[in-house]
Amino acid sequence: MNSVIGRTYEQEKLRTALEREESQLIIVSGRRRVGKTFLINEFFDNDFAFKFTGAFNSTKKQQLKNFALELAGRGELSSIKKAEMPEDWTEAFFMLRDHLEKHDDGKKQVVFFDEMPWMDTPKSGFLAAFEWFWNSWAGARKNLVFIVSGSSTAWLTENIDHNKGGLFNRCTCRLYLDPFDLAETEKFLISKNIYWSRYDIAQCYMILGGIPYYLNMLDRGYSLNENIDALFFKKGAQLGFEFEQLYNTLFSNSDKYIKVVEALGGRRGGMTRTQISKKTGIPANGMLSAMLTNLVNSGFVRVNNEFGNKKREKSYQLSDYYTHFYLRFIADNAGRDEHLWSNTNDNPARRAWEGLTFEQLCKDHIDQIKNKLGISGVMTEISSWRREGDAETGGAQIDLLIDRRDGVINLCEIKFSNHEYEVDKEYDLSLKNKVSVFREATGTRKTIQVTMITTYGIKRNMYSNYVGKVIELDDLFKMP
C-alpha cells in the first residue's frame, strides 16, 4: 500500500470492512481511469480468494469462458474442456461458491469483480444469478468481503446500490473515487520524479484533471508543453484518440452522450435541460434526464446552482478537464501542428481557455478556499449568478459565490495570471458595479466580501483595497 497516493478515507473504510464480523458487499465506483482497480489491488496486495474482470463488448459465452479460465488458474478445473464450462451465470456462481467453500480456512476471503457492468450483457441473466448467489449463500458468510467495481456508475447505482429487488439494501460500503486534487497531483508527480512549479502543475491539471492514468503518461524528461504536444498533438498521440473510447466504454448510446458533452463544451456558463435538448435534438424527456444524471454521477458534468433561484430549471456544466480540452483543441483541428501547445503560449484562444478552466479548478477546490477563508466549519451554499442587462439596467456575471450561514457572501473573482494581478481603475469600477447590481437585483442584506482568487495574488496599489480577501494558487495546494 506504500505506492497509493492519497485515498486515505477509502483505505480506512476498507480496513473497517475487513474488521466486521458479517459479510461485506462493497461498491467502488468513479470516473474511468481514476484508479479504482489500482486502489483495490494495492490495498489487498493482489491477494484475493478470487478475482474476475469483465470484458468490454464481449458475449455471455466469452465472459463465462473467461470466468472458467480464472477458476482453472486457481486449480479448480483440471483442464478447460467444453463440459467444464458453465452453461449460465447461475452455474458460474455455484462454481465460485464451491471454490470459496473448499478454500475456507476461517480467514477473510476477498472476492473482487472488476468492471462488473460489462458482465451484464443483454439477456445474460447475470444480475439475477448474482442476486441468487448473494441471498442464498454469500450474504450469510461471516468472513466474505465481496467488492464490485466499474466505471459505469449509473449501472452500479441502479442495479446494486439502489436495487429494488433481491439486492435491496445489501450494500454495506460505498466508495466513490474522486480525481486527485492539486495536492495529491503534486505528490503523484513527485513520485515520478517530476518537479514542476505549481503554476505548471495547475496548467497540467486544467488539461488532464487529477486522473492518475493520464498523469502517469507524463515523461519527466519533457517540459509541460512538450508533454502535452506528445500526448495530444503528435502523430499517434496516446490521448488523441481517448475521447470516443472513453464514452463508448461507459454508455451504451454513447453517440447521444457525446452530443450532450459537445453542446455543454461550447457554453461557458452551462445549459438547462431545455437548452441542451434544443441544441442536440434529443427530446427533453426522461431519457435525457437519465443521461444527464449519469453524466453527473460519472464525474463528467456538474449541476450549477444559481443564487436565489432554486426553483429554476437546473443548469448543467461540463466539468471533465480532458473532455473540455479535447473538444476545444483536438476535435476539429485536423492537420494540426505537432508542436501546437509549445507554439501557443501567448495565443489569445489559449489565454481565454486558461481563464475559463481555472474557474472550474477553483470550483473543484472549494474546501481549500473555505479553509483559507477560515470558514471550514461554516455551513455554505456554492452558486453562480448572472443578470442579463443593457445600458440602462446593467448586466453582471459572478461565477462563484459562497453564501455563508454567518451572514456573509464571498463574491469571488477568479483570474489566471503569470504574475501578480493588478487592479486598475477600470477594474475597480467594474467590481463596485458588480456588487451594486448583485445587491440590487437579489435584495440581499448580507455583507458582501469581494474575494480575489488568482495565481500569484494581487499587486497592492490605490485600487486594490476594495478586495477584502485574497487567495493564491499555493492555497489551493493545501490539504483541506
Pairwise pLDDT comparison (394 vs 371), residue with the higher score: 371
Residue 395 pLDDT level (bands cut at 50, 70, 90): confident
Residue 393 has pLDDT above 60, yes or no: no
Structural domains of the chain sorted by starting position, each given as residue range(s) with its CATH number in brackets: 8-177 (3.40.50.300), 179-360 (no CATH), 365-476 (3.40.1350.10)
Query: Dihedrals φ, ψ of 346, to 5°?
Result: -110, 20
Half-sphere exposure of 201 (CA within 13 A, CB side): 21
| pLDDT value, residue 432 | 94
Span 315-336, average pLDDT: 88
Residue 465 has pLDDT above 70, yes or no: yes
317's CB contacts (< 8 A; 6+ apart) are 264, 267, 269, 270, 271, 301, 302, 303, 304, 360
Structure confidence by residue, pLDDT tens digits, 411-427:
999 999 999 999 999 99
Q: What percent of the chain has pLDDT over 70?
A: 95
Q: Which helix (H) or strand (E) holds 117?
A: none
Q: In the sheet where 315-318 sits, what is the strand order? A: 271-272, 315-318, 301-304
| pLDDT value, residue 241 | 86
Residue 204 has pLDDT above 70, yes or no: yes
Span 147-152, average pLDDT: 94
Q: By the 8 A CB rule, do 353 and 328 touch? A: yes
When the pLDDT of each residue in the chain is averaged and rounded to a whole number, the result is 92
Running DSSP on this structure, what letter comes out for residue 317?
A: E
Closest listed residue to residue 181, CA positions, set 202, 163, 167: 202
Q: By the 8 A CB rule, do 227 and 244 touch? A: no
158's CB contacts (< 8 A; 6+ apart) are none
Span 331-344, average pLDDT: 82
List helix spans (H) across 229-328: 242-248, 254-265, 273-280, 286-297, 321-325
| pLDDT value, residue 1 | 47
Closest listed residue to residue 378, CA positions, set 387, 369, 365: 369
Q: What percent of the chain has pLDDT over 90?
A: 79
* Cα-based torsion angle of the residue sequence 129, 132, 133, 138 in order, rounded to the nearest 10 degrees: 150
C-alpha cell of residue 412: 469571488
| pLDDT value, residue 391 | 46
Q: Which helix (H) or strand (E) holds 14?
A: helix 8-19
Running DSSP on this structure, what letter comes out for residue 238?
A: T
Pairwise pLDDT comparison (81 vs 57), residue with the higher score: 57
Q: Rounded to whole angstroms, what are the CA distances from 109 to 20, 105, 160, 169, 393?
A: 13, 9, 21, 22, 67
**Cα 34 from Cα 217, distance rounded (Å):** 13
Q: What is the reported pTM?
A: 0.92
| pLDDT value, residue 355 | 93
